[in-house]
Amino acid sequence: MAIEVERTRRFTADEYERMVELGIFREDERLELIGGEIVEMAPVGHRHAACIANLNQRFVLGVAGRALVWGQGPARLAVDSVPEPDLALLRLRSYRTGSPRPDDVRLVVEVAESSLRYDRTTKLRLYARAGVQEYWVVSVAGEWTSTKSSPDRSPYRALSFDSTSVPAADSIPPIPLTSDVLRFGTWRGPHSPRSWRAASMIGKMPYMPVCV
Distance CA 19, CA 96 (A): 18
Distance CA 100, CA 72 (A): 12
On average, the pLDDT of the chain sits at: 75
**pLDDT score of 154:** 56
Cβ–Cβ under 8 Å, residues 110 and 85: yes
CA distances from 86 to 11, 15, 48 (A): 23, 23, 10
Contacts of 97 (CB under 8 A, 6+ apart): none
pLDDT digit string (tens) for 69-120? 999 999 999 999 999 999 999 999 999 999 999 999 989 999 988 888 899 8
Residue 129 — φ and ψ, nearest 5°?
-65, -35
Domains, in order of start, for the chain: 43-201 (3.90.1570.10)
pLDDT digit string (tens) for 30-83? 999 999 999 999 888 888 998 899 889 988 988 888 899 999 999 999 999 999
> For 186-209, b where at least 16 C-beta lie within 10 A, e where not — what string?
ebeeebeeebbbbbbbbbebeeee
Cβ–Cβ under 8 Å, residues 76 and 97: no
